[in-house]
Copies of this chain bind each other. A is one copy, B any other.
């Protein structure tokens, strides 16, 4: 089982709550995939507490642990204040820390990220940093107090899947004991499975499920992929070979000539 910040998680799938056709479909997708965590955010309240309250009622009914995020924050200061407000609003000190460098790539700003991670860890937050595969940045996040790392494998929402498998392998090899969660860039269940096979501990998804033709079916497919990927990792896969090797024994072949 995967344990982060002393808490044992019920699965290796974290699911985002945005962009679903309806709150009901979000709820069905969550029931179909049983994620360990649901990510949520906070936004300006409009018109008397009615904004997205249908959404909020649905999420509370699901009874799944929440991981608030600081999505859209472009500075450490914004992210810190947003995290403080999220802690009160959602009643949890877990926070998915996003500090975004610039718009078109939604790439983590690693300087703002480390600064915010230090400040929030000092305030007792359990920080889940959205980061890159940069190992030097990862070391500073761990020094700052993070007990989990969430590298991207491709730009957010790009659905491209792992773009640099060597970099993912290096990060896994360099931090054998740190929970590593691939956050962002996954488009297909086979992408999620691939990173689990590499030994990553979990994945965080949103667009790939919410944007599918059938989000509920896709949520289930990802849940199975994550389970199978971990099982494959634990079962010891074959290494690729250059030459072909027969499966059926060649000993004892008949001769009909």
The chain A residues found within 8 Å of chain B, CB to CB, are 16, 18-19, 41-44, 46, 51, 69, 71-72, 77-78, 81-82, 101-102, 104-111, 114, 132, 134-137, 139-140, 154-161, 163-164, 166-167, 170, 174, 187-190, 193-194, 197, 206-208, 210-218, 220-222, 224-225, 227-229, 231-232, 234-254, 256-257
Note all chain B residues with C-beta closer than 8 A to A160. Answer: 166, 240-241
Contact A245 B157 (CB under 8 A): yes
Note all chain B residues with C-beta closer than 8 A to A229. Answer: 189-190, 221
Contact B158 A244 (CB under 8 A): yes
Contact A234 B207 (CB under 8 A): no
Contact A140 B111 (CB under 8 A): yes
As for how many copies of this chain the complex holds, the number is: 4
6 shortest interchain CB distances as A-B pairs: A213-B236, A157-B245, A101-B136, A71-B248, A217-B235, A155-B244
CA distance A77 to B213 in the complex (A): 49
Q: Which residue of B lies closest to A214 (CB)?
A: B235
Note all chain B residues with C-beta closer than 8 A to A240. Answer: 158-161, 187
Q: How far is the CB of A193 from chain B (nearest CB, A)?
A: 4
Contact B18 A247 (CB under 8 A): yes
Note all chain B residues with C-beta closer than 8 A to A132. Answer: 134
**Cross-interface CB contact of A155 among B140, B188, B243, cutoff 8 Å:** B243
Q: Which residue of B lies closest to A252 (CB)?
A: B43
- Residue among A217, A228, A231, A240 with most chain B CB within 10 A: A228
Contact B207 A247 (CB under 8 A): yes
Note all chain B residues with C-beta closer than 8 A to A108. Answer: 136
Contact A190 B187 (CB under 8 A): no
Q: How far is the CB of A13 from chain B (nearest CB, A)?
A: 12
Other contacts beyond A105-B135, A210-B247: 6, CB < 8 A: A78-B254, A106-B244, A111-B111, A160-B240, A193-B193, A224-B224
